[in-house]
Amino acid sequence: MSNENLSSFSRATGVAMSRRALVSGAVGLGALAALAACTGTGSTGGGATASKTLTFGSGSSDDVPKRAYAAMVSAFNKKSGDKVTTNTVSHNDFQNNINTYLQGSPDDSFTWFAGYRMRYYAGKDLVAPVDDVWKKIGGDFSAGLAQASTGDDGKKYFVPNYNYPWGFFYRKSVWQAKGYTVPAKFDDLIALAKRMKADGLTPIAFADKDGWPAMGTFDYINMRTNGYQFHMDLTAHKESWDQKKVKDVFDNWKQLLPYQSPDALGLTWQEGAQTLGAGTAGMYLLGSFVTQQFTDPAVLADIDFFPFPEIAMEGTDSVEAPIDGLMLSKKGGDNQAAHDFLAFMGSAAGQEAYFSVDKSNLMTVKTADTSSYSEFNKKLAGVISGAKHISQFFDRDALPAMANNVMIPALQGFLKDGTIDTANLEAQAKALYAAQ
């Protein structure tokens, strides 16, 4: 994930925070500094120079995405004859220290997220534009993906690799045995959760040790309660946090708290996934990367998905579907091999190489061969393609400091005791956004 996946800073995001001061922190700084030390320093200046080597900084440290990027790198090496040195750092450490990393001695290319998270660092002049790459690959991407890859100055800074929807994942066999049906509305979800609890299950697996997963739940309840545009305006601080609409989100969420994992603050998302795989949890709200944790083919084949149910606004037309991909550091902007690497990632061959290992995410290139998509992949893709609105993930749509420094502790406090101080959220948001 990118994520998501956060704190994940996510995706992603994306927070992955991916979820997702700026983003520097003490945790993992030594590891990230060691990574940066491997990459050299300085910039050649001028345009990109010919080179046959480049470095690639990756926050995709979980087994499946790590092997998937290795497959993509191998395919690029074979095609180009260039040599890519990959430096992988723990997902959360990479994201939480990205600001320090980019201002130090970063790799030429690195994993990151589309949307605000990309635009923020482009606006700080910490990354290099890749308009030359988009002249080669642009026709193979949708207008929405192109927009999500564009900085505020109109230049392209990002090449999408994959995206993935968030929703509720569950085991079909467990539901069939218990006679459960997919809930269409929020009241149906609560009724189902009550029934699951009576049946001895943890109704909703929940894991927020890393801080970012709770933001996905907030996003969905907010969009379902107040609509997509309110979500976007709130994350941009065009709306106040201290108002009834925000309080309504938390009031709705309180109805779910008794049915979430009671030890959520001590669990990683991977541990949460294991409870779903073991059949002790009834469902799990997360991105489709959750299926990376199901190594038993029988369990993987037993997984299904449904969108977050309707509450008050727009039915289920708004979908959280973060976009993960690659960017260039300022140093990488001077290395032609790094530009070529991103162009390969934005090709059918590059994305097919990645997908050959990680089938939990969806390729973004139009001409990629999707004949190997399972019915599950097709269902996920259908949810995204049928959406009227696509959000990135809170920590990718909002100011980094707001996501990392304010929302993570606020949401973890809410999970602990069910209280939230919206006036304090607004006061912090006002100060942070005014400082930009």
pLDDT band for position 402 (cuts 50, 70, 90) = very high
| Residue of 58, 57, 53, 56 whose CA lies nearest to 80 | 53
Alpha helices in 278-399 (DSSP H): 297-301, 336-345, 348-355, 375-385, 394-397
pLDDT band for position 47 (cuts 50, 70, 90) = low
pLDDT band for position 10 (cuts 50, 70, 90) = very low
| Residue of 365, 421, 393, 396 whose CA lies nearest to 112 | 396
* Burial class for 419, CB neighbours closer than 10 Å (0-12, 13-18, 19+): exposed
Q: Which of 367, 384, 401 is the last residue of a domain?
A: 384
| Residue of 280, 267, 269, 279 whose CA lies nearest to 360 | 269
Give the model's pLDDT for residue 1: 42
CA 35, CA 39: separation in Å to the nearest integer?
A: 7
pLDDT band for position 92 (cuts 50, 70, 90) = confident
Tally of domains within the chain: 2
Q: For 330-342, how does the pLDDT look when each residue is reduced to its tens digit (9 = 90+)?
A: 999 999 999 999 9
- Ranking 20-24, 166-170, 329-333, 409-413 by mean pLDDT, the lowest is 20-24
Task: Please indicate, yes or no, whether residues 199 and 263 belong to a single structural domain of this protein.
Answer: yes
* pTM, full prediction: 0.80
Task: Please indicate, yes or no, whether residues 316 and 377 belong to a single structural domain of this protein.
Answer: no
Hey, what are 112's tokens?
């990151």
Task: Please indicate, yes or no, whether residues 245 and 189 belong to a single structural domain of this protein.
Answer: yes
Residue 213 belongs to domain spanning: 166-320
Q: What is the mean pLDDT of residues 39-54?
A: 60
- Ranking 20-29, 142-151, 278-287 by mean pLDDT, the lowest is 20-29
Q: For 132-189, how does the pLDDT look when each residue is reduced to its tens digit (9 = 90+)?
A: 999 999 999 988 899 889 999 999 999 999 999 999 999 999 999 999 999 999 999 9
Give percent above pLDDT 70 in the chain. 89
User: 328 near 309, Cβ under 8 Å?
Assistant: no
Q: What is the mean pLDDT of residues 219-240?
A: 96
- Residue 200 phi, psi dihedral angles, 5° rounding: 90, 10
Residue 18 in domain: no
CA 343, CA 328: separation in Å to the nearest integer?
A: 11
Q: What is the mean pLDDT of residues 78-91?
A: 96
What is the rounded average pLDDT for all residues in the chain?
89
- Ranking 89-98, 124-133, 228-237, 238-247 by mean pLDDT, the lowest is 89-98
User: 18 near 93, Cβ under 8 Å?
Assistant: no
User: 59 near 337, Cβ under 8 Å?
Assistant: no
Q: What is the mean pLDDT of residues 80-87?
A: 97
Per DSSP, 105 falls in state S
- Ranking 72-76, 253-257, 395-399 by mean pLDDT, the lowest is 395-399
Give the model's pLDDT for residue 45: 38
pLDDT band for position 294 (cuts 50, 70, 90) = very high
Hey, what are 109's tokens?
């290319």
Give the model's pLDDT for residue 9: 32
Residue 406 in domain: no
Tell which wins on pLDDT, 210 or 36.
210
Task: Please indicate, yes or no, whether residues 130 and 103 belong to a single structural domain of this protein.
Answer: yes
Residue 114 in domain: yes
Cβ density class 238-272: b for 16+ within 10 Å, e for less: ebbbeeebbebbbebbeebbebbbeebbebebbeb
Give the model's pLDDT for residue 6: 35
Task: Please indicate, yes or no, whether residues 171 and 159 belong to a single structural domain of this protein.
Answer: no
Q: What is the mean pLDDT of residues 17-42?
A: 39
Give the model's pLDDT for residue 387: 87
Respond yes or no on whether the N-terminal peptide bond of residue 14 is cis (omega within 30° of 0). Answer: yes
Task: Please indicate, yes or no, whether residues 284 and 191 belong to a single structural domain of this protein.
Answer: yes
Give the model's pLDDT for residue 38: 44
Task: Please indicate, yes or no, whether residues 310 and 368 belong to a single structural domain of this protein.
Answer: no
| Residue of 69, 84, 90 whose CA lies nearest to 38 | 84
Strands 159-163 and 362-363, sheet pairing: antiparallel
Give the model's pLDDT for residue 279: 96
Task: Please indicate, yes or no, whether residues 355 and 265 belong to a single structural domain of this protein.
Answer: no
Q: Which of 320, 349, 375 is the last residue of a domain?
A: 320
Task: Please indicate, yes or no, whether residues 214 and 343 belong to a single structural domain of this protein.
Answer: no
Per DSSP, 13 falls in state -
Residue 389 in domain: no
Beta bridge partners of 326: 111, 159
Q: What is the mean pLDDT of residues 26-33?
A: 42
Q: Which of 300, 320, 340 is the last residue of a domain?
A: 320
Residue 14 in domain: no
Residue 8 in domain: no
Give the model's pLDDT for residue 155: 98
CA 373, CA 383: separation in Å to the nearest integer?
A: 14
Give the model's pLDDT for residue 44: 36
Hey, what are 352's tokens?
């097919």
CA 280, CA 275: separation in Å to the nearest integer?
A: 5
Task: Please indicate, yes or no, whether residues 152 and 170 belong to a single structural domain of this protein.
Answer: no
Residue 419 in domain: no
Residue 296 in domain: yes
pLDDT band for position 356 (cuts 50, 70, 90) = very high
Residues 6+ apart with CB under 8 A from 22: 99, 400, 401
| Residue of 86, 125, 83, 70 whose CA lies nearest to 102 | 125
- Rg for the chain, CA atoms, rounded: 21
Task: Please indicate, yes or no, whether residues 154 and 128 belong to a single structural domain of this protein.
Answer: yes
Task: Please indicate, yes or no, whether residues 170 and 283 belong to a single structural domain of this protein.
Answer: yes
User: Domain holding 98: CATH number?
Assistant: 3.40.190.10
Give the model's pLDDT for residue 26: 34
Give the model's pLDDT for residue 133: 98
Strands 323-329 and 127-128, sheet pairing: antiparallel
Hey, what are 227's tokens?
């609509």
- Ranking 3-7, 80-84, 97-101, 341-345 by mean pLDDT, the lowest is 3-7
Hey, what are 173's tokens?
């066999």
Angle between helices 244-254 and 422-434 (to 10 degrees): 130
Tell which wins on pLDDT, 338 or 40.
338
CA 218, CA 120: separation in Å to the nearest integer?
A: 22
Give the model's pLDDT for residue 40: 39
CA 225, CA 137: separation in Å to the nearest integer?
A: 38
